[in-house]
């Protein structure tokens, strides 16, 4: 190569951060397009399947039959496309270095459009987040960016898609920071803003500037009215807790059903939804047109309460039965109905002047969002972006805070995290987010522990571990830990003639464990409560053993050269 | 055997064991690959964008078609009188096509018709935000304000509706209808002054036909401006000499103004054209009685005056007697007043019948005044008079008796 070519090559050698910058803008465009296309696909599906005035039989049949198809697709090809998409995106970010397969993107788009378009009471924002994040992940890997860069693209793609799906760029950025990353101080804020703004420009160039909701002109009628919004916060918190608990229980019930039913569970949900739609078609799909009515104060108290209750049930059925769709929009729907109902009651009975019920419906949207999704900053800014009115901030914060606190008290684990735990995925909480330079469990553990097969007898187990001086041993396999058995119990049972008894009879229930990213401080704290052996379990597959920590491994770590 | 100081691939000298040339080339390939992928994605975004826009446009057309379907359905249901179903149909239409003014206005109108004023007002205010000069929107807002008794808002919106009308004959007709509606509202809310202002404009713009002038005249009458009402009735009768409504209206207005000569002329003509017009006939009868019983009419011989005043006294005395004969309903002071008047009547009769009576030069004036006072007192105590008693009362008022 001559000197000219070499200098051109050096000049053209794009540093990774330059690629990243260009990619951020591109992701804004592509993420925005994907979200808009997804929205249009849902609308087109709904128009095609239901037409203008669907008959009773169509309302009953469409969700059932379409869910048969989506159930098959989800079970056979797109298992990762079930549910909302937000918890899966979080898991990809925190546990899989941002890897989201392209197949998931396609599957989410297809099954999400079919499920929501066929009448399931679910939202489109969650799937949009996963689609946008997935596109970002795929692009990042195509470009062979480093794993850290690919990981950082995920919240950027998610924010872009959400910004376009909901037409609130600031709230989308906050959502990515608050929910996906879990850190408001993330260094990605600049890129996320760029992508989010680009996406909303693309969205508005296609769908126009018409706001998602026709928000009434709002004003606080009297300072005492804040008490009314406090009541809304309390009621909103209760409804949030009810929704989360029922959702988790219903989902757990579906998961306990035999494995062969998984293909048909979405159709079971579809049939139930079809029955509901025959009587209350207003809970079909996203339902933003009815949110609009609540914001205009067009709905009577009975209608608001009915729609709130039925929507809650319908969303739980749709989600728990394994269909593809989110709970973002249903949260807003429930919030608008709850707020409208509280507003009517306040208007009629409060001893102080109150505003229109529509104003309460608006604040209610943020309140339920804060209580269910558990993102207080995002919920405040989302409603502010919809109204562009500073007057709403104080009542919104009052109501959101109360709802958030009540929800956190009675449902400590946020719903997205709880849903992941049902799938055997443990996301890191705030306590386990460690700063650079801190030793972690993965630095101390040994990766080749001895396993006692689950089907062994006590005698056989004792023969395996007799020469090992550890205080406890693992029972099961690397892929599936069954539990721990104490050396003392094993020895005593073997020596007292119980050698033929299955070793599982000695397994210690609920023994402590750690995950690879846990800090040394947490490891030592949990080790104190262990029988002398602390399993290190994978976050992505909570029964999989990555390693073990024993007293010997701790001593070895202490005596070793940390730099090595 | 390869020389460790030179690259085995390209033969270039090695620097610290690394071939710079191969590294740059590899880097160049990576750079080319990155550039290629970015360019590919950027280029692919363009048709994707265009396809998305097409899909969005197609969706909008589908939504518009469905909205039209629901709108037609709503209109049909309205014609059949099923406002509940119509509301739901129009709501579904407006959900599908939020920007459609026709649908939004129809929904607001049906909400207003169902007395859901709050929702209708919200919908209309929203419409007025996007179409600030739309007369239909302001008219509906005016009607809502009128229904709520909010006079200032109703005036504002009705005027905005009138100002928003385009030029043209059809719009002029619509404008007149709107203004008449406004006048009706103002009169119903006892805002006669404001109603008169509107009526003046209405009168100036009235088309050249008798019906329009008659309509305006009736409104003037209701607003209390009898003189202008008469002008309009006269104009109407000039435009249509056979218009019974114009003639009877002119007769009524003239009657109210005390011009009984003109009133009789108009009313005779009206009754002649429409013998079944009972009100005109009644008024005509009263007018005739007034003219025949008025002792203070111009150019009457003195004998006739005296005859009339004495006949009036007799009639008033009978009225007085009937009134005093009522056992209940009269207070002590009323009875006392009426008996005082009875005594006065006796006194006048006594003076008239006395053998040594000298002609009373004040008989006509005093007699007429006494008749008026009797009829007024009887009217207050024993109800409105009819027939000749009414005529005597009106004669008294016309000639400056205590006001009506």
Q: What is the pLDDT of residues B259-286, one digit of tens each?
A: 999 999 999 999 999 888 888 898 999 9
pLDDT of residue B28: 56
| Cβ–Cβ gap B66/A1 under 8 Å | no
**Alpha-carbon span B92 to B118, nearest angstrom:** 19
At A450 the three-state DSSP class reads coil
pLDDT of residue B402: 43
Residues A186-194, mean pLDDT to the nearest whole number: 86
Contact predicate A484/A461, CB 8 Å: no
pLDDT of residue A268: 95
Q: Which residue has the tokens 């989360």?
A: A244
pLDDT of residue A226: 92
pLDDT band at A519 (very low <50, low <70, confident <90, very high): confident
Could you tell me whether strands A481-486 and A533-537 are parallel, antiparallel, or unpaired per DSSP bridges? unpaired
Torsion of Cα atoms, B145 then B150 then B156 then B160, to 10°: 10
Q: Which residue of A has its CA nearest to B121?
A: A296
> H helices then E strands: how many in chain A?
23, 5
Residues B324-346, mean pLDDT to the nearest whole number: 80
Which residues 85-144 on chain B approach chain A with CB closer than 8 angstroms? Answer: 91, 95, 98-99, 118-119, 122-123, 126
Contact predicate A31/A109, CB 8 Å: no
Q: Which residue of A has its CA nearest to B63?
A: A47
Q: What is the pLDDT of residues A315-350, one digit of tens each?
A: 999 999 999 999 999 999 999 999 999 999 998 888
User: How many angstroms separate the CA of residue B257 from the nearest CA in chain A?
Assistant: 53
**Alpha-carbon span B38 to A313, nearest angstrom:** 45
* CB proximity B36 to A under 8 Å: no
**Alpha-carbon span B309 to B319, nearest angstrom:** 15
Q: Is A144 exposed, middle or buried (0-12, 13-18, 19+ CB in 10 A)?
A: middle
| Cβ–Cβ gap B66/A47 under 8 Å | yes
Chain CA centroid to CA A82, Å: 11
* CB proximity B50 to A under 8 Å: no
Contact predicate B141/B115, CB 8 Å: no
* CB proximity B40 to A under 8 Å: no
pLDDT band at B404 (very low <50, low <70, confident <90, very high): very low
pLDDT at A563 over 70: no
Picking from A202, A209, A284, A283, the residue whose alpha carbon sits closest to that of residue A37 is A202
Contact predicate A547/A442, CB 8 Å: yes
Q: What is the pLDDT of residues A76-106, one digit of tens each?
A: 999 889 899 999 999 999 999 899 999 999 9
Angle at A153 between CA A152 and CA A154, to 5 degrees: 90
Task: Determine the angle formed by the axes of helices B169-188 and B135-147, rounding to 10 degrees.
Answer: 10
A154 backbone dihedrals φ, ψ, rounded to 5°: -60, -55
Residues A233-244, mean pLDDT to the nearest whole number: 97
Task: Transcribe A494-541 into DSSP letters.
Answer: HHTT-TTSBGGGGPBTT---B-TT-BHHHHHHHHHTSSSEEEEE-SSS
pLDDT at B356 over 60: no
* CB proximity A293 to B under 8 Å: yes
**Alpha-carbon span A15 to A12, nearest angstrom:** 9
Contact predicate A452/A485, CB 8 Å: yes
Contact predicate A366/A399, CB 8 Å: yes
User: How many angstroms separate the CA of residue B52 from the nearest CA in chain A?
Assistant: 6
pLDDT of residue A466: 87
| Cβ–Cβ gap B35/A144 under 8 Å | no
Other Cβ atoms closer than 10 A to B148: 12
| Cβ–Cβ gap A47/B59 under 8 Å | yes
**Alpha-carbon span B318 to B321, nearest angstrom:** 5
Q: Which of B70, B91, B119 sits opposite A297 (nearest CB)?
A: B119
Percent of chain B with pLDDT over 90: 35
- DSSP code at position A178: I
Q: Is A72 exposed, middle or buried (0-12, 13-18, 19+ CB in 10 A)?
A: middle
Percent of chain A with pLDDT over 90: 65
User: Residue A139: its chain B contacts at CB < 8 A?
Assistant: 37, 41
Q: Which residue has the tokens 């003239």?
A: B254
- Using left for φ > 0, alpha for ψ between -120 and 50, and beta otherwise, residue A161 falls in alpha
Task: Transcribe A184-219 into DSSP letters.
Answer: TT-TTHHHHHHHHHHHHHHHHHHH-S--SS-PPP--
pLDDT at B350 over 90: no
Picking from A15, A44, A17, the residue whose alpha carbon sits closest to that of residue B66 is A44
**Alpha-carbon span B185 to A397, nearest angstrom:** 46
- Reading the block at residue B149, the tokens are 């008794």
Q: What is the pLDDT of residues A147-187, one digit of tens each?
A: 888 999 999 999 999 999 988 999 999 999 989 988 776 67
- Reading the block at residue B38, the tokens are 């970015």
* CB proximity A40 to B under 8 Å: yes
Q: What is the mean pLDDT of chain B?
A: 85
Q: Is A415 exposed, middle or buried (0-12, 13-18, 19+ CB in 10 A)?
A: buried
pLDDT band at A204 (very low <50, low <70, confident <90, very high): very high
**Alpha-carbon span A38 to A357, nearest angstrom:** 32
pLDDT of residue A46: 94
Q: Which of A14, A216, A358 sits opposite B34 (nearest CB)?
A: A14
- Reading the block at residue A37, the tokens are 């296309």
Q: What is the pLDDT of residues A543-559, one digit of tens each?
A: 899 999 998 888 888 88
pLDDT of residue A432: 59
**Alpha-carbon span A87 to A95, nearest angstrom:** 12
* CB proximity B149 to A under 8 Å: no
Which are the contacts of A330, defined by CB distance < 8 A and separation ≥ 6?
A: A121, A122, A123, A287, A311, A312, A315
pLDDT band at B159 (very low <50, low <70, confident <90, very high): very high
Task: Transcribe B253-315 into DSSP letters.
Answer: HHHHHT-HHHHHHHHHHHHHH-TT-HHHHHHHHHHHHHHHH-TT-TT--HHHHHHHHHHHHHH
| Cβ–Cβ gap B38/A216 under 8 Å | no
Q: Which residue has the higher pLDDT, A120 or A429?
A: A120
pLDDT at B133 over 60: yes
| Cβ–Cβ gap A51/B66 under 8 Å | yes
pLDDT at A52 over 90: no
Q: Which residue has the higher pLDDT, A543 or A38?
A: A38
The answer to which of A284-288, B4-8, B33-37 has the lowest mean pLDDT is B4-8
pLDDT of residue A1: 46
At A100 the three-state DSSP class reads coil
Which H, E and C letters describe A105-144, residue by residue?
Answer: HHHHHHHHHHHHHCCCCCECHHHHHHHHHHHHHHHHHHCC
User: Residue B78: in which H helix or E strand, if any?
Assistant: helix B20-79
**Alpha-carbon span B162 to B171, nearest angstrom:** 9
Chain CA centroid to CA B48, Å: 57
- Using left for φ > 0, alpha for ψ between -120 and 50, and beta otherwise, residue A374 falls in left
pLDDT of residue A147: 87
- Reading the block at residue A426, the tokens are 């443990």
pLDDT band at A253 (very low <50, low <70, confident <90, very high): very high
**Alpha-carbon span A113 to B74, nearest angstrom:** 30
**Alpha-carbon span A546 to A551, nearest angstrom:** 17
Residues B326-349, mean pLDDT to the nearest whole number: 80
Angle at A225 between CA A221 and CA A230, to 5 degrees: 145
- Reading the block at residue B126, the tokens are 């929203």
Other Cβ atoms closer than 10 A to A32: 32
Percent of chain B with pLDDT over 70: 91
Q: Which residue of A has its CA nearest to B20?
A: A6
- DSSP code at position B327: S
Q: What is the mean pLDDT of chain A?
A: 89
A533 backbone dihedrals φ, ψ, rounded to 5°: -145, 130
Other Cβ atoms closer than 10 A to A55: 11
Q: What is the pLDDT of residues B24-79, one digit of tens each?
A: 665 556 567 778 888 889 999 999 999 999 999 999 999 999 999 999 999 999 99
Task: Transcribe A317-380 into DSSP letters.
Answer: HHHHTT-B-BSHHHHHHHHHHHHHHHHHHHHHH-SS----HHHHHHHHHHHHHHHHT--HHHHH
Contact predicate A43/A117, CB 8 Å: yes
Chain CA centroid to CA A248, Å: 13
At A483 the three-state DSSP class reads strand
pLDDT of residue A503: 93
Could you tell me whether strands A472-476 and A451-452 are parallel, antiparallel, or unpaired per DSSP bridges? parallel
Strand order in the sheet with A481-486: A451-452, A472-476, A481-486
Q: Which residue has the tokens 């969005």?
A: B56
pLDDT at A3 over 60: no
pLDDT band at B23 (very low <50, low <70, confident <90, very high): low
At A546 the three-state DSSP class reads strand
Picking from A183, A74, A168, the residue whose alpha carbon sits closest to that of residue A128 is A168
**Alpha-carbon span B89 to B71, nearest angstrom:** 7
pLDDT at A521 over 90: no
Q: Which residue has the higher pLDDT, B20 or A410?
A: A410
| Cβ–Cβ gap B28/A52 under 8 Å | no
């Amino acid at each position: 190569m001559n000197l000219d070519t070499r200098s051109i090559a050096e000049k053209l050698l794009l540093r990774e951060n330059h690629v990243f910058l260009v990619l951020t803008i591109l992701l804004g465009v592509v993420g925005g397009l994907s979200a808009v296309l997804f929205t249009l696909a849902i609308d087109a599906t709904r128009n095609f399947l239901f037409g203008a005035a669907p008959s009773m039989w169509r309302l009953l049949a469409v969700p059932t039959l379409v869910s048969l198809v989506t159930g098959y697709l989800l079970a056979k090809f797109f298992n990762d496309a079930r549910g909302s998409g937000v918890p899966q995106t979080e898991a990809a970010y925190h546990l899989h270095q941002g890897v989201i397969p392209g197949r998931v993107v396609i599957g989410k788009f297809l099954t999400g459009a079919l499920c929501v378009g066929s009448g399931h009471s679910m939202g489109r924002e969650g799937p949009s987040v996963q689609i946008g994040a997935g596109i970002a992940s795929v692009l990042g890997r195509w470009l062979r960016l480093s794993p850290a860069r690919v990981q950082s693209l995920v919240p950027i793609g998610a924010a872009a898609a959400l910004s376009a799906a909901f037409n609130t760029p600031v709230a989308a950025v906050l959502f990515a920071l608050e929910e996906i990353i879990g850190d408001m101080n993330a260094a990605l804020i600049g890129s996320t803003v760029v992508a989010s703004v680009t996406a909303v420009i693309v969205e508005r160039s296609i769908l126009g500037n018409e706001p998602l909701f026709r928000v009434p002109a709002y004003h606080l009628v009297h300072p005492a009215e804040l008490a009314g919004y406090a009541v809304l916060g309390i009621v909103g918190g209760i409804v949030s807790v009810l929704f989360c608990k029922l959702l988790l229980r219903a989902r757990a019930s579906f998961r306990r059903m035999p494995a062969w039913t998984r293909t048909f569970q979405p159709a079971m949900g579809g049939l139930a939804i079809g029955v509901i739609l025959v009587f209350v078609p207003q809970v079909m799909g996203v339902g933003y047109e009815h949110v609009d009515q609540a914001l205009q104060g067009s709905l009577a108290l009975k209608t608001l309460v009915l729609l709130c209750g039925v929507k809650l049930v319908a969303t739980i059925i749709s989600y728990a039965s394994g269909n593809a769709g989110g709970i973002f929009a249903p949260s807003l729907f429930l919030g608008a109905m709850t707020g409208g109902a509280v507003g009517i009651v306040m208007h009629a009975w409060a001893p102080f002047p109150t505003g229109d019920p529509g104003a309460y419906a608006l604040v209610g949207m943020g309140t339920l969002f804060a209580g269910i999704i558990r993102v207080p900053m995002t919920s405040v800014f989302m409603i502010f972006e919809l109204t562009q009115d500073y007057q709403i901030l104080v009542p919104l914060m009052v109501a959101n805070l109360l709802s958030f606190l009540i929800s956190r008290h009675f449902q400590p684990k946020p719903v997205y995290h709880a849903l992941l735990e049902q799938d055997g995925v443990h996301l890191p909480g705030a306590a386990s987010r460690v700063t650079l330079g801190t030793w972690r469990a993965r630095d101390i553990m040994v990766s080749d522990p001895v396993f006692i097969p689950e089907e062994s007898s006590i005698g056989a187990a004792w023969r395996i571990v007799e020469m090992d001086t550890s205080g406890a041993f693992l029972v099961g396999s690397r892929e599936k830990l069954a539990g721990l058995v104490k050396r003392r119990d094993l020895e005593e049972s073997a020596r007292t003639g119980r050698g033929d008894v299955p070793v599982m009879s000695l397994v210690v229930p609920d023994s402590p464990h750690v995950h690879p990213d846990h800090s040394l401080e947490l490891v030592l704290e949990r080790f104190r409560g262990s029988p002398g052996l602390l399993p290190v379990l994978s976050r992505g597959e909570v029964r999989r053993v990555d390693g073990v920590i024993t007293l010997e491994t701790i001593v070895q770590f202490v005596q070793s050269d940390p730099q090595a | 055997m390869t020389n460790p100081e030179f690259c085995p691939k390209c033969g270039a000298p090695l620097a610290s064991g690394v071939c710079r040339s191969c590294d740059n080339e590899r880097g160049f390939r990576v750079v080319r690959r990155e550039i290629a992928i970015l360019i590919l994605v950027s280029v692919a975004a363009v048709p994707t964008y265009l396809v998305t826009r097409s899909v969005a446009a197609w969706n909008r057309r589908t939504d518009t078609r469905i909205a039209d379907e629901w709108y037609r359905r709503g209109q049909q249901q309205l014609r059949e009188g099923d406002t509940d179903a119509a509301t739901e149909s129009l709501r579904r239409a407006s959900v599908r096509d939020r920007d459609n003014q026709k649908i939004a206005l129809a929904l607001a109108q049906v909400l207003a018709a169902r007395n859901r004023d709050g929702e209708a007002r919200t919908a209309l205010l929203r419409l007025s935000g996007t179409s600030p000069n739309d007369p239909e929107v302001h008219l509906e807002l005016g009607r809502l304000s009128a229904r709520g008794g909010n006079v200032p808002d109703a005036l504002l919106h009705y005027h905005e509706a009138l100002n928003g009308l385009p030029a043209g004959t059809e719009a002029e007709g619509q404008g007149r209808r709107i203004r008449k509606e406004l006048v009706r509202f103002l009169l119903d809310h006892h805002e006669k002054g404001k109603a008169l202002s509107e009526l003046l404009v209405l009168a100036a713009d009235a088309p050249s036909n008798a019906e329009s002038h008659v309509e305006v005249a009736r409104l003037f009458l209701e607003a209390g401006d009898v003189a202008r009402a008469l002008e309009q009735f006269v104009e109407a009768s000039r435009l249509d000499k056979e218009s019974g409504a114009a003639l009877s209206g002119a007769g009524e207005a003239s009657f109210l103004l005390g011009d009984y000569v003109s009133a009789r002329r108009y009313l005779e003509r009206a009754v002649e054209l429409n013998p079944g017009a009972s009100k005109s006939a009644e008024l005509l009868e009263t007018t005739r009685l007034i003219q025949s019983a008025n002792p203070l009419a111009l150019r009457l011989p003195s004998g006739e005056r005296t005859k009339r005043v004495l006949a009036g006294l007799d009639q008033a005395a009978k009225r007085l007697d009937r009134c005093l004969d009522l056992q209940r309903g009269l207070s002590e002071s009323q009875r006392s007043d009426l008996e005082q008047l009875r005594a006065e009547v006796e006194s006048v009769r006594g003076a008239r019948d006395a053998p040594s009576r000298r002609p009373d030069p004040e008989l006509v004036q005093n007699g007429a005044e006494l008749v008026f006072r009797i009829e007024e007192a009887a009217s207050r105590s024993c109800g409105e008079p009819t027939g000749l008693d009414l005529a005597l009362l009106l004669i008294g008022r016309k000639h400056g008796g205590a006001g009506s």
